[in-house]
Amino acid sequence: MRKHVWFAILFLCLLGLASRAEMVVSTADGDGADTCVGNDSNRRPDRNFGGEGTIDIRWWTGVRAHIGYVRFDITDIGGVDLTGAQLQLYVTQTQGARTWDVYGLKDNYADDNWGEMSITYNTAPGMVPIDLGYYDIDETKLTRLGSISIRSQAGLHTSDPTALPLESFLKEDTNNLVTLVLIGPADGSGKQYYVLTKEGEAGSTDPNMVAPRLVLPVEPDPFWVSNPVPAMNNSVLETLGQVCWTNPEPSAPGGLITCDVYFGSRDPNLNEPDYGLEYTLATGTTETCVSLPSVLEPMTRYYWVVDVHNSTEPNIVHRGRIWSFNTFNIGPSVDAGPNQYIWLGHLGDPATAAAVLDGTVTDDGMPEPLTYLWEQVSGPEITISPNDTEDITVVFTEPGTYVFRLTASDGMSSSSDTVMVVVSADACSAAKARPGYKANAMDLNSDCFVNLYDFAMFASQWLDCTSLQCP
């Protein structure tokens, strides 16, 4: 009899372990992103690789510098236990066991909103332009968090929380976005590694191949409320009159969900009654919205928690996650896109050239919808029409260096960024205008082709004598 009891207990324990869930946040979720930036003659510092299915990690001093950027949208992890948080990467190709450094981008709204389809080494937050084959870190923006060990076999690689402690970095976040930077070792070997991206995951039929993700060893409470309004870390006006949420379903038909709601501007403390917050807005309410105290203070961060009671479990309180919002505005972040180098006739019409100015603007949605304005800063005058959308197409009829500015406004604050378009008379001139252009030594007439014309020039000079004793 005793043996059967122990087997039953063991079975239940194993069942509990098997059913235990983890909270996972992927670069494919929300405003997540993943890419690499390069600083060498192949992956040039002004090129973008955001659409690729892998992140290329490589550092061969003086030759190759390929660095990974991954961003996670952690909007939905407010109030959960972040102890033991881990980084997971699916590595599709390795060339031996290595240890990579992991840096965190210090919390700054504009920097965290780098554009996946526009970021380059030259524009990557935390990277400093330097000679090809090297990288340099801006330590005012990047802080080393630790390391992740990469095995010699392809597959899923998970960080050790003692080697890569992420808890503090995640807790310090204020904008729901965290960026991690992956840098391989400079061992002179030039070993190359590939990490699967969200684009690669979307194109894979293997469910085990996943995009970069954060794994939190916590089991989500099925009785957490969801869909907070305002959303986590959103910015609102001081006149906000209520907060709202969505209740979970009762555990049994006919059951009832009731809530206790706590609110205030003090830093919440899980160990204090009512979380240490100043106001109890509701006790045992069946509503999903509650009114806030009069007019809120400007330039203040507020916190609120919704605890849940399930009528079929009268003695259990399901403690909620800690939500927050701000009564100060976070202005838009603007990226006007990478510089472009084009030439008359590149689209077929020998008299014109066209460029798509691909702007990227992110904002907190407050206090008003975004407005856009494109303006010409310098260069031969042209007409921009329309000029009030995030992306525009500009047509050119003469060579020149043109600079355009994109300004975005949320009704309270605005931000701007510029982009340069160099229009050349021909494709060869456009190539020469690009930073880092290196001419072929055999291109004797500098027309960007090595052909019979260059051979003729070489042959004509072959027998020339420049000595003081020429025959």
Which tens digit of pLDDT belongs to each residue from 223-244?
889 889 998 777 788 888 999 9
Asked if residue 203 and residue 69 are part of one domain, the reply reads: yes
Asked if residue 41 and residue 162 are part of one domain, the reply reads: yes
Q: How confident is the model at residue 262 (pLDDT cuts 50, 70, 90)?
A: very high
Asked if residue 30 and residue 162 are part of one domain, the reply reads: yes
329 and 363 in contact (C-beta within 8 Å)? no
The last residue of a domain, from among 293, 326, 359: 326
C-alpha triplet 416, 420, 426: angle, nearest 5°: 160
Tell me the per-residue pLDDT of 374-403, one tens digit each, with 9 for 90 and over. Answer: 999 999 999 999 999 999 999 999 999 999
Q: Is residue 231 in some structural domain? A: yes
Dihedral in degrees, nearest 10, Cα atoms 52, 57, 61, 63: -30
For 122, how many CA atoms within 13 A lie in the half-sphere containing its CB?
A: 15
Contacts with 313 (C-beta within 8 Å, 6 or more apart), sequence order: 251
Q: Which residues pair with 146 in a beta bridge?
A: 102
Asked if residue 347 and residue 315 are part of one domain, the reply reads: no
Asked if residue 353 and residue 241 are part of one domain, the reply reads: no
C-alpha triplet 116, 121, 127: angle, nearest 5°: 110
Q: Is residue 10 in some structural domain? A: no
The continuous run of DSSP H or E covering 244 comes out as strand 242-246
Residue whose C-alpha is closest to residue 120's, from 203, 19, 63, 38:
38
Range of the structural domain that residue 356 is part of = 333-438
Q: Structure tokens of 355? A: 């460029």
Q: Is residue 362 in some structural domain? A: yes
Asked if residue 193 and residue 231 are part of one domain, the reply reads: no
Three-state DSSP state, 439: coil
Asked if residue 125 and residue 255 are part of one domain, the reply reads: no
Q: Is residue 122 in some structural domain? A: yes
pTM (predicted TM-score): 0.57
Asked if residue 371 and residue 343 are part of one domain, the reply reads: yes
- Number of domain units in the chain: 4
Q: Is residue 6 in some structural domain? A: no
**Is the pLDDT confidence value at 97 over 70?**
yes
Q: Is residue 44 in some structural domain? A: yes
pLDDT at 386: 92
Alpha-carbon distance of 249 to 257, in angstroms, equals 7
Alpha-carbon distance of 323 to 303, in angstroms, equals 6
Q: Is residue 12 in some structural domain? A: no
CATH code of residue 292:
2.60.40.10
Alpha helices (H) along 140-279: 167-171, 198-202
Asked if residue 207 and residue 231 are part of one domain, the reply reads: no
Long-range contacts at 77-81 (CB < 8 A, ≥ 24 apart): 77/23, 77/25, 77/170, 77/216, 78/232, 78/233, 78/321, 78/322, 78/323, 78/324, 79/305, 79/320, 79/321, 79/322, 79/323, 80/23, 80/216, 80/218, 80/220, 80/321, 81/216, 81/218
Asked if residue 259 and residue 244 are part of one domain, the reply reads: yes
Q: How confident is the model at residue 423 (pLDDT cuts 50, 70, 90)?
A: very high
**Is the pLDDT confidence value at 195 over 50?**
yes
Q: Is residue 4 in some structural domain? A: no
Asked if residue 421 and residue 314 are part of one domain, the reply reads: no
Asked if residue 273 and residue 186 are part of one domain, the reply reads: no
